[in-house]
Amino acid sequence: MHEPLSYVTPNPHSAWGTYLLQVDRVLPYLGPLARWSETLKHPKRALIVDVPIEMDDGSVRHFEGYRVQHNLSRGPGKGGVRYHPDVTLEEVMALSAWMTVKNAAVNLPYGGAKGGIRVDPRQLSHKELERLTRRYTSEIGFIIGPQQDIPAPDVGTNPQIMAWMMDTYSMNVGATASGVVTGKPIHLGGSLGRVKATGRGVFVTGREAARRIGLNLDGARIAVQGFGNVGSAAAELFTSAGAKVVAVQDHTGTIANAGGMDMADLMDVVRRDGGVGAFTGAERIDDEAFWDTDCDILIPAALEGQITVARANRLKAKLVLEGANGPTMFDADDVLTDRGILVVPDVICNAGGVTVSYFEWVQDFSSFFWTEDEINVRLDKIMVDALRKIWDMADRHRITLRTATFAVACERILMARQERGLYP
């Protein structure tokens, strides 16, 4: 029987509501394990913390922070930390749940977790950001740790923030604990290849999907929403494979060039200005027109809920690669399926980041570091093998790749649940 949570209001259009509907859809494929499925709808632990800091002008401000451990049946919690003004507990719950599914989909020995602070990091000075990060880390310090829950970067956070988190946690426990976070700078125990790993995973799964549907990457037209860590790395790899980026949208605006854009020039502008808006190698277009772009591949790599039913009906792409978490609304997903547009879902498409985070964690424990080639080859193999298993599941049951990914992952999660048994 489903016991709804008292601390969220049911809403099919929210990220958590979308996740619950995705779970319902996979239940018929779980056999007797469906008996344990309620565990997927109940986050194991949700922590809300107050994060007060002194601002540079001497005033004191309070920020709301969260860490949610959705499921720990398969191992320690693993998932990023988001700094964004719209972060809510419910959003972090959904992101943590998708981490549970994602980690199981690529068979990493982790549960799922996520954290966040309701803040616009662009409005804070470097010192304020450091104080915010250190206080937040201290507040969630009793539930994270190399064997308990391992944060990583997400929207609005980066290797510097991971370095502060690692240092704060280490100071509090009295020993350097490099394995408490991943996505760290290289000389603090970070891994080669981590920064671009999520984008690389998007590229690898996209390459495999394109091959299966007979779409040639050479000359393929790509539209990318979000040109941060994930979107820019994916765009670079696709252009190296012969594709051309014809439209890009970020928080500073939307640009288009049907002939393709120079990625190195665009990256320079983003490094200089923090966004694509002022790039002169393309035409500035209306934000909503992005969704009408003539393209073969669409890569949403910004935030949740971007592909609505109305936009899904307008898309011209043949293939959607979900670099972002939860970019497609539940009912819009059905529109894409009906229109024959193939979606490689977030829970496998963007799993490259957490896979190399896992490599980083393993390297930290053994204090033995791999070359970038070793990282990329292993990442490629894990992503290709995982996608092949998911594709087989989709073919066997005639279901979407999303439901197939949930089926493969939830079987692993609930099997672990069953084998561990209920305590006491």
Nearest-angstrom CA–CA distance, 367 and 297? 40
Tokens at 44, concatenated: 């194991």
Stretch that binds ligand NAD, among 9-17, 43-51, 173-181, 225-233 (CB under 6 A): 225-233
By beta-carbon proximity to ligand NAD, the closer residue of 198 and 328 is 198
Task: Based on the shown chain and the rule CB under 6 A, indicate whether residue 308 belongs to the binding site for ligand NAD.
Answer: no
Using CB under 6 A as the binding rule, whether residue 100 contacts ligand NAD is answered as no
Residue with tokens 């995705």: 22
198 touching ligand NAD, by CB under 6 A: yes
Catalytic residue (choose from 78, 114, 184, 244): 114
Give the span between the Cα atoms of 407 and 416, in whole angstroms.
14
Q: Token pair 């988190």 is at which residue?
A: 165
Count of positions on this chain that bind ligand NAD (CB under 6 A): 24
- 388 to 100, 111, 336, 382: CA distances (angstroms): 20, 22, 21, 10
Q: Under a CB-based contact definition with an 8 Å cutoff, are residues 109 and 33 in contact?
A: no
Q: Taking CB under 6 A as the rule, does residue 111 contact ligand NAD?
A: no
Which 3 state secondary structure label does DSSP give 321? strand
Min CB(162)–ligand NAD separation in Å? 11
d(CA 112, CA 150): 10
Inter-residue contact 82 to 156 (CB < 8 Å): yes
CA atoms of 346 and 324, how far apart (whole Å): 6
Output the residue with the shortest Cβ distance to ligand NAD: 228
Number of C-beta neighbours around residue 131 at 10 A: 18
Dist CA 200 CA 205 (whole Å): 9
- 128 belongs to the binding site for ligand NAD (CB under 6 A): no
DSSP state of 188: G
User: Binding to ligand NAD by residue 277, rule CB under 6 A?
Assistant: no
Instruction: By CB under 6 A, tell whether 353 contacts ligand NAD.
Output: yes
- The span of 28-36, 58-66, 310-318, 321-329 binding ligand NAD (CB under 6 A) equals 321-329
Site stretch for ligand NAD (CB under 6 A), options 234-242, 308-316, 320-328, 392-400: 320-328
Which position among 156, 189, 190, 345 is part of the footprint of ligand NAD (CB under 6 A)?
156
- Does 400 contact ligand NAD by CB under 6 A? no
Beta strands in 185-262 (DSSP E): 221-225, 244-250, 253-256
Neighbouring C-alpha atoms within 13 Å toward the C-beta of 404: 21
Give the contact letters, 241-260, x = binds to ligand NAD (CB under 6 A), - = no: --------xxx---------
190 touches ligand NAD by CB under 6 A:
no
Contact window for ligand NAD (CB under 6 A) among 71-79, 203-211, 220-228, 384-392: 220-228
Annotated active-site residue 184? The verdict is: no
Tell me the closest approach of the beta carbon of residue 144 to ligand NAD, in angstroms: 18
228 contacts ligand NAD (rule: CB under 6 A): yes
Query: What CA–CA distance (Å, rounded) separates 405 from 407?
Result: 5
The residues annotated with a catalytic role in the active site are: 114
Sites of contact with ligand NAD (CB under 6 A) = 153-156, 198, 225-231, 249-251, 275, 301-303, 323-325, 350, 353
